[in-house]
Amino acid sequence: MYWLQILLYGAYTYLALGLIFGLWFVFKGAEQIDENMHGASRATRLLLLPASIALWVVLLNKWLKQKKHGS
């Protein structure tokens, strides 16, 4: 039962960090990765929020690589 609690707390932590990153990403960071996001409405950005929360590690990695290469 103890391992299940660890797994559950790990999932909660992942989702909490994903929510923080996702909110930042959809309103600020997406424009840095994708030029087509300039001028996108708030509704469009909120549609991206669930995927940003779930895939925050991938998006953070992509953003860091883009920032490192300066493109």
Whole-number Å distance between alpha carbons of 56 and 42: 19
One-letter amino acid of 62: K
Q: How many CB atoms lie within 10 A of CB 53?
A: 21
Report pLDDT for 12: 97
Comparison of pLDDT for 67 and 38, the residue scoring more: 38
- Convert the pLDDT of each residue in 2-13 to its tens digit: 999 999 999 999
The domain of 38 spans 2-69
The per-residue pLDDT for range 19-62, each reduced to its tens digit, is 999 999 999 988 888 888 888 899 999 999 999 999 999 999 99
pTM: 0.82
Domains in the chain, number:
1
Per-residue pLDDT band for 71 (boundaries 50, 70, 90) equals low
